[in-house]
Amino acid sequence: MDTGLANYQAPKLPKRKRDSDPWWKGHSKGVWAAGAFGVLVIAGGVGLSIVTAQNEGEQDRYGTPTEASMYCEDAVRDQLKAPDTAEFDTSATGSGTYTVTGTVDSENSFGAMLRSDFQCTVVIDGDTQRTTLDSLEQR
């Protein structure tokens, strides 16, 4: 029984590099360009994450317009006859010290819906906040 191993020829191996060849010899320019591009992408990602982390730190310290609006809405809600019926439309401007203006629709003591205009000043610094209800006018 002939297994055919007698005629088998091993595949030719690539030529062995000489010990005197530098390690970079034999690599194509495309491989080097891809490697350089990869290093630039990683460095850019690290730089972007550092800048983003710094901006988020400032935003956490001075709050956000949404957070300022929530503090102001709470202050207005405390002044209403039926706070559970309140529907707000607000906008906030500033950074750290916010001016929040808006309207609130809520029921009065007779159950009629009334619209009121309001303006608040909200100061957020770190973990502390100070809300001042500047005006609440019914129209």
Coil/strand/helix, residue 67: helix
Residue 122: closest CA among 57, 69, 59: 69
The reported pLDDT for the residue numbered 102 is 95
> What is the spatial distance between Cα 75 and Cα 134, in angstroms, rounded to a whole number?
10
Tokens of 70: 């929530």
> What is the spatial distance between Cα 102 and Cα 65, in angstroms, rounded to a whole number?
13
Which pTM does this prediction carry? Answer: 0.56
Q: What is the DSSP letter of 85?
A: G
Instruction: Give, for all 139 residues of the chain, the pLDDT tens digit.
Output: 556 666 777 777 776 666 666 655 666 666 667 777 888 888 888 777 776 655 555 555 778 899 999 999 999 999 999 999 999 999 999 988 999 999 999 998 899 999 999 999 999 887 788 888 888 887 7
Alpha carbon distance, N-terminus to C-terminus of the chain: 107
